[in-house]
Amino acid sequence: MRLLSGIQPSGNLHLGNYFGMMRPAIELQSRGEAFLFIASYHALTSVSDPAALRRGVRDVALDFLACGLDAERTCFFRQSDVPEVTELAWLLSVITPMGLLERCHSYKDKIAKGIAANHGLFAYPVLMAADILAYQSTLVPVGRDQKQHLEVTRDIAIKFNQQFGEVFTVPEGHIPDAVAVVPGLDGQKMSKSYNNTIELFGTEKETRARVMRIVTDSKPLEASKDPDTCTIFSLYKLFASEAERDALAARYRAGGMGYGEAKKALFEIFWTRFAPFRARRAELEQNPAFVEAVLRRGADRARAEAARTLAAARRAMGLD
Ligand code: ADP
Ligand code: TRP
């Protein structure tokens, strides 16, 4: 099994990214060969400030290494250190029907939000397909919102293989069910575009303030409360053991506990569970040469792999 996933370096990572994508990707590294990259080319569709892009790439690298990515087991690299994927994206683009891309929700949502439509934004799923296919990935762990992009990738791979011969492995998506969508402060999907996130590595003060802003219903302290419809509880559950979860659920139902107290419990469990990650991140921050060396080593390996696939695709299409 070969796993691959990517994450955009555009904005600070939050709990939705962690439970939806980072943790599953990190857990899966023990189950097969894993590739994980920082999607710096994709980020150009939304980040136009070079300094912000550099910072974003550095932060994602630190975040992943701090949260347990093992660079000995996982090939960890920057997408833009493997320019072969952009050539592969071109080869794929000539067999990708317009309609397939026009149907993509992610593109339509971005346009609806007023982001200017450009070719990169439209072709985004083709570059993503190239990422996945270049490494002959079999399993791609992503959050639910990327499911359609995976289907596009599969469609492109199947079409290419039918037309030019078997060059690509057709990948499967892996969407962790238990944490399909992590809710944000307002109860909608947690997303940096909704400004409803709790960042993984915010300061204590910021983090506490964000947790305190979680929207709840207005039941009084004494009332019995329903944990299953409460955002605070949904987030608490992600960190808690079964026993801790049942204990808090029982307190919700019994009444006598206000939402303020539940928020404190959530803050405490998050802050405690992440303490080792924060310490590791602080250490890594002092050692940029180590981080750079990890990414370079990853890129060398990834490039060798991508070059092999690209050569096969070129040959199949008659470019040899
Ligand atoms: P954002 O919505 O903040 O822009 P991205 O779209 O960059 O986040 O997502 C990066 C990864 O994290 C993707 O695999 C995505 O599916 C996952 N992810 C993001 N937000 C959530 C969420 N609220 N719940 C579960 N997974 C999420
Ligand atoms: N589009 C993905 C996201 O926004 C990032 C990404 C780019 C990716 N290429 C990929 C994810 C390949 C998985 C596989 O989250």
Kindly state whether residue 192 falls inside one of the protein's structural domains: no
Q: Is 128 in the pocket of ligand 2 (CB under 6 A)?
A: yes
Q: Which two tokens stand for residue 126?
A: 């083709």
Kindly state whether residue 16 falls inside one of the protein's structural domains: yes
Q: Is 79 in the pocket of ligand 2 (CB under 6 A)?
A: no
Per-residue model confidence (pLDDT) at position 176: 66
279: left (phi over 0), alpha (psi -120 to 50) or beta: alpha
Q: Is 106 in the pocket of ligand 1 (CB under 6 A)?
A: no
For residue 18, what is the DSSP state? Answer: I
β 33-38/2-7 pair status: parallel
Q: What's the CATH number where 263 sits?
A: 1.10.240.10
Asked whether residue 92 falls in the same domain as residue 231, the answer is no
Q: What 3-state class would DSSP assign to 181? A: coil
Mean pLDDT by groups of 10 residues along the chain of 320 residues:
91 91 85 93 95 96 96 96 98 98 94 91 98 95 86 98 98 73 94 93 98 97 96 97 97 97 98 98 97 98 98 97
Q: Which of 128, 145, 195, 200 to mutate to test the pocket of ligand 1 (most atoms within 8 A of CB)?
A: 145
Please, are residues 235 and 267 in contact by the beta-carbon 8 Å criterion?
no
Q: Count the domains in the chain.
A: 2
Q: Which two tokens stand for residue 174?
A: 């892996």
Residues with a catalytic annotation lie at 110, 189, 192
Please, are residues 47 and 10 in contact by the beta-carbon 8 Å criterion?
yes
Beta-ladder partners of 172: 139
Q: Please, what is the angle between helix 259-273 and helix 242-254, to 10°?
A: 170
In angstroms, rounded to a whole number, what is the distance separating the alpha carbons of residues 156 and 170?
A: 9
Q: What's the CATH number where 158 sits?
A: 3.40.50.620
Asked whether residue 294 falls in the same domain as residue 246, the answer is no
In angstroms, rounded to a whole number, what is the distance separating the alpha carbons of residues 235 and 163?
A: 47
Kindly state whether residue 188 falls inside one of the protein's structural domains: no
Any residues with CB less than 8 A from the CB of 79 and at least 6 apart, and which?
6, 37, 38, 39, 40, 41, 42, 85, 131
Distance of CA 54 to the CA centre of its chain: 18
Per-residue model confidence (pLDDT) at position 15: 97
Q: Which of 4, 80, 128 to mutate to test the pocket of ligand 2 (most atoms within 8 A of CB)?
A: 128
Asked whether residue 150 falls in the same domain as residue 223, the answer is no
Asked whether residue 268 falls in the same domain as residue 296, the answer is no
Distance 143 CA to ligand 1 centre (A): 6
Asked whether residue 26 falls in the same domain as residue 162, the answer is yes
Q: Is 21 in the pocket of ligand 1 (CB under 6 A)?
A: yes
Beta-ladder partners of 199: 14
CA angle (309 as vertex; 131, 10 as ends), nearest 5: 15
Q: Which two tokens stand for residue 79?
A: 């997408």
